[in-house]
Structure 1
Amino acid sequence: MSLDPRIVSAAEFPDWLRAVGTGFVRASAGVPGEEEVALRLAHTDLDRVQGVFDAGRCVATFRSFAQELTVVGGARVPADAVTAVTVTPTHRRRGLLNRMMAADLASAKERGDVFASLIAAEYPIYGRYGFGPAAWITEWEIDVPRAGLDPRAPVPSEADGGRIELVDGADVRKLGPELHGRVAARQHGVVSRDERWWQRNTGVDVPEHETWSEPFYAVYRSPDGEVDGLVVYRADDHWGDRKQPLETAKVSSLIAATPAAERSLWRFVCSIDWITTVRTGYRAPDDLLPLLLPDPRAARVVTQADRLWLRVLDVPAALEARTYTTGSALVLDVHDAAGLAGGRFLLEVSPSGASCVPTARNADLTLDVAELGALCLGDESPVRLAALGRLDEHRAGAAAEADVVFRAPRRAWCPDVF
């Protein structure tokens, strides 16, 4: 029987879900119940769900969905978000992922998506498909008693103004989308959240294989009453032998549309009675948090890793969408083994805009489309790529010039897994 990928039908979708669970080594990787299948189907575009079947059993899975990605400067561009990529262990090394990926990227290119995006479960897999790590994350663990914060100080501070309120999941579903839109307008690397995202992340219709425990939600309101920030956290129930509280607060999400909101929410979490340790969740590597503490050494890094991977599908659209702080002209020779986005392009930038067009001029820099993906959000350095042998410089000083061109004022950050 042929092992060719194809679009999955509604009747095959339950077995496709089982195969996803098998691929991600979930202990409960059986066929999900009818209610979960119906819920998942209601929020899935089957035209973008691929599967490979052997004797009627699904042995490989792949799905994509429409997404918007914020680039440097705040513009949001269409992206092809790739998820649920698995190959059952019995069918590895048969080229199944190659064929599913090729079909999906070709469709995304035809639709006009600027990027394909994904969160890589394993680092070595996706570079060969033209993806590059474009945004990284850091998680800190804060020793609150050593941080030097004044437990008597008001939160928010008088300088920040505003107030903090505890809310519930229903409030978050009402207030969150507008706040997230404001955050996405100022933070490159942020991806869109649909209505289903807000439901799942506030406990509505959580899939059977996911364990849900209700978190605490707190919002920051500015002096004029506008919601400028949201933090979601959970706390354990750990006490020491001497009847002293030793609880850990684990932040699952903190988004803020203003620095005042961000400062106040972090101070709030670090001031909660009984909390002696705070795990920050996955933040941008240049997050404000450590330097908000009187003693930043109280925050130790526990995770440092790649997060959002990008695959450029339209070079001119990708480079023209973002903003630049300098004027320059560079000729980029982009290699793409899949033939989707390669070519030689003249990139002319200034603070007022950018132009990227095909050219026959001699190249200043040659790089693979994966390296271009790593550069697009300003989180990688052309000089470092040249030192690694992943970018060739044909004009002296071109890599340093490109370093200034692609640089962004802050690190890219993607808060979400998808």
Structure 2
Amino acid sequence: MRRDDIAVRPVTVDEYPDWIRALNTGFLREPSVPPIEVENRRPLLERSRNLGAFDGARCVATFRSFAQEVTAVGGAVVTADAISNVTVTATHRRRGLLSRMMATDLPAARERGDVLATLIAAEYPIYGRYGFGPATTATQWSVDVPRAGLDPRWAGPEDGGRIDLVDAEDVRKHGPDLYERFRRGQPGAVDRDDRWWQVTTGALRVVGPGDPWTEPFHALYRSPNGEVEGLLTYKPDDVWGDAKQPLDTATVRGLIALTPAAERALWRFLCSIDWITTIRTGYRAPDDLLPHLLPDPRAARIVTQADWLWIRVLDVVRALEARTYAGSGSLVIEMTDPDGLSGGRFRLDASPDGATCAPSTRSADLVVGSGELAELWLGDASAVRLAALGRVGEERAGAAAVADALFRTFRRPWCPDMF
């Protein structure tokens, strides 16, 4: 089968079950597609841009993108082309199928006016060649609760707030507004639509074969004035050791907090639950407060630390003008883009009061790839370090240090969501 015999095209309603089968095959899930799975996923087909590669009638590669918002440094949101469900069946690797799907989707996103493209990479080496760079990191801790040194007599927040266990309906009532306030202050966060809340609270059961829904616990933190400022979702197991000793692990499905007081109270509550001896935190920001909220921070052991949100800059001017900057300065940045989507030379004039960016013919101070610019954009990467690694070209002495003074942030960016 020649490469040009495999068609890459939008997926029709009739082809959707076969597309899901290819998706399940690519992610090594049970390939069978029960009708209920097709029906539950159908709204995604209607609201997304789904591509498939077809060898005859059989789908052998999958690709989905959809509209998204990403929070920039400073709280502004920019539009993004979120990419997900990328697979290539093992029998059809090395035939350029992903490249063809990317070459269909990314120019269309640029034409629509999306500022960025985003994805969560299952494997690291794949997406750099398409201009993406890892812009946030996720860290997961395992907390040894008995070792943490917490007061076992704790009975509630010391600040006068309160914690209430609530059901899924309460989460759907309070969660969307709480998260909207949270994500406006969290660089790297993405928006959540109503379907997200329906799925994560079990109102809409979208599960694959062998993955039944189990109801988690939800806890809300209310400030002393009664305002909802934090939400924790967790799922405990049921494990007992020798001599009838409880050894339960609580796995955090999500924790968002608007204030350090709310964050402290929710973690302290989780650590205080009887029988819980271990906490798996889920994927958190790499500078999360948790370890140092414990009297013994060594009780929190890092078990995962890896790249998370990947970004590709599609519109340099709008991306650089959307975010805020800690200091004042000017840089001429040349972004190289082999795909020809968004490369060029741009002058950035930034200050705490705002920024302007425009194409420039002046000599470049820094030369960066689109992936490196993505890493710098959210403030997590260091231009000095990237230059030392040979990934950024410093054309003017000291320009990398100027870039760090402008781009770096006092807290690290974080994307709480998988998509």
Q: Deviations over 1:283-322 (max 9, x none)?
A: 0000000010011111111001000000000001111101
Q: Deviations over 1:195-241 (max 9, x none)?
A: 11111111222223333211110010112222111011111111121
Q: Decide whether the 8 Å contact of 1:73 with 1:323 is kept in 2.
A: yes
Cα distance in structure 2, aligned partners of 1:312 and 1:363: 18
Aligned mate of 1:18, from 13, 17, 21: 21
Match of 1:214 in 2: 215
RMSD: 1.1
Match of 2:9 in 1: 6
Q: Decide whether the 8 Å contact of 1:7 with 1:46 is kept in 2.
A: no
Match of 2:305 in 1: 304
TM-score, L = length of structure 2: 0.97
Equivalent position amino acid for 1:397 in 2: G
The question of 1:167 aligning with 2:166 is answered yes
Cα distance in structure 1, aligned partners of 2:259 and 2:286: 18
Q: Decide whether the 8 Å contact of 2:140 with 2:304 is kept in 1.
A: yes
Aligned positions of 1:14-413 closer than 5 A: 14-26=17-29, 28-30=30-32, 32-45=33-46, 48-157=49-158, 160-203=159-202, 204-209=204-209, 210-413=211-414
Q: Deviations over 1:106-159 (max 9, x none)?
A: 1100111110000000000000000000000111111111111101123212xx
Equivalent position amino acid for 2:161 in 1: G
Runs of 5+ unmatched residues, structure 1 = none
Q: Deviations over 1:240-285 (max 9, x none)?
A: 2111111111111101112111111011111111111111111000
Q: Decide whether the 8 Å contact of 1:145 with 1:276 is kept in 2.
A: yes
In the TM superposition, what is the alpha-carbon distance from 1:12 to its structure 2 partner?
0.4
In the TM superposition, what is the alpha-carbon distance from 1:363 to its structure 2 partner?
0.5
Q: Decide whether the 8 Å contact of 1:136 with 1:285 is kept in 2.
A: yes
Q: Decide whether the 8 Å contact of 2:120 with 2:418 is kept in 1.
A: yes
- For structure 1, which segment, 309-318 or 198-207, has the greater mean C-alpha deviation from structure 2 after superposition? 198-207
Cα distance in structure 1, aligned partners of 2:221 and 2:251: 18
Cα distance in structure 1, aligned partners of 2:212 and 2:408: 41
Equivalent position amino acid for 2:357 in 1: C
Cα distance in structure 1, aligned partners of 2:44 and 2:23: 16
Q: Decide whether the 8 Å contact of 1:4 with 1:96 is kept in 2.
A: no
- For structure 1, which segment, 81-90 or 209-218, has the greater mean C-alpha deviation from structure 2 after superposition? 209-218
TM-score, L = length of structure 1: 0.97
Cα distance in structure 1, aligned partners of 2:46 and 2:130: 23
Cα distance in structure 1, aligned partners of 2:380 and 2:36: 42
Q: Decide whether the 8 Å contact of 2:83 with 2:118 is kept in 1.
A: yes
Cα distance in structure 2, aligned partners of 1:290 and 1:149: 12
Cα distance in structure 2, aligned partners of 1:323 and 1:337: 28
Cα distance in structure 1, aligned partners of 2:252 and 2:154: 22
Aligned residues: 414
Equivalent position amino acid for 1:67 in 2: Q
Cα distance in structure 2, aligned partners of 1:161 and 1:72: 32
Cα distance in structure 1, aligned partners of 2:335 and 2:9: 31
Equivalent position amino acid for 2:278 in 1: T
Equivalent position amino acid for 1:174 in 2: K
Equivalent position amino acid for 2:205 in 1: D
Q: Decide whether the 8 Å contact of 1:8 with 1:46 is kept in 2.
A: no
- For structure 1, which segment, 119-128 or 225-234, has the greater mean C-alpha deviation from structure 2 after superposition? 225-234
In the TM superposition, what is the alpha-carbon distance from 1:47 to its structure 2 partner?
6.2
Cα distance in structure 2, aligned partners of 1:122 and 1:102: 20
- For structure 1, which segment, 205-214 or 100-109, has the greater mean C-alpha deviation from structure 2 after superposition? 205-214
Taking only the aligned residue pairs, the percentage that are identical comes to 64
Cα distance in structure 2, aligned partners of 1:369 and 1:114: 12
Q: Deviations over 1:321-344 (max 9, x none)?
A: 011110000000100011111000
Cα distance in structure 2, aligned partners of 1:327 and 1:245: 56
In the TM superposition, what is the alpha-carbon distance from 1:55 to its structure 2 partner?
1.8
Q: Decide whether the 8 Å contact of 2:72 with 2:322 is kept in 1.
A: yes
Equivalent position amino acid for 2:92 in 1: H
